[in-house]
Homo-oligomer: A and B are copies of this chain.
């Protein structure tokens, strides 16, 4: 395992994603300091005992959490994150590397680079869960997961990028790089569209038949698990990436109309060809491992 090139890590937002970074750091034997910023004194009090075994220092004042940190991880939802940038910039050590975990990259990469300069490294670990909060955070969330780093060509500092890459690899993740635009277009396809489809499908099931809720198998259970995610967070993500999502949605609708024509007795071989194509495509994907309960 590569070494972690930071002595003091500050995590802004200690939910599922940020909390899992803290737990993963301890799980791989990181002995440096871990500080986390929570929104209020009450939030600090609520998490005190569960954070203690992981040796995470909690605070709700950015100046004290960020002081001397050489890595600052922004782990709040995209809208909150954007609103926090000026305040983080005000208190961050001038030498600190800053990165984030948000699911959409274009706006954040541009805005944060304007504010922090070359030392901001935009990132997105392509994992998650319908669970939320620090208690659901897990030390193995990023193990064998893919982290996408989306540096801005000619702007993001190479050394900062290397350090953030090394950081994620030390936690067991694979790291790949692409432009923020390529990331947002790809994730609209692999994540944002399926979330939207599952939400629309479930919302439409509501008033149909009495007793429908007892007629669901494991297929529907797994297909719709993503609908247990946080609707406010997903409304943000979908709005933020609306152009790419709308494009995916158009293409899906075109395909849907094609397949609809095949729901006849005569077209069943063509229908089967479509289904086979779907199965073949799925088999090309590398999914993160199923985490044990």
Contacts and interface: CB of A to CB of B under 8 A. Distances in A.
Contact of A231 (B194, B196, B242, B279): B279
A245 B223 contact: no
A83 interface: no
A127 to B, nearest CB: 5
A249 B256 contact: yes
A148 interface: yes
A165 interface: no
A176 B211 contact: yes
Interface string A193-236: 11111111111111011011111111111111111110110111
A277 B198 CA distance: 11
A290 to B, nearest CB: 7
B186 A212 contact: yes
Contacts of A178: 211
Interface string A151-178: 0000000000000000000000010101
Contacts of A265: 239, 242
A189 interface: yes
A242 B266 CA distance: 12
A165 to B, nearest CB: 15
A145 to B, nearest CB: 8
A252 interface: yes
A94 interface: no
A259 interface: yes
A265 B243 CA distance: 11
Contact of A277 (B146, B203, B224, B284): B203
Given A203-B274, A253-B256, A277-B206, A148 B288 contact: no
B238 A126 contact: no
B203 A190 contact: no
A129 interface: yes
9 A-B pairs with the lowest CB-CB distances in the bound complex, closest first: A231-B275, A202-B278, A221-B287, A235-B272, A199-B278, A203-B278, A203-B277, A222-B222, A242-B263
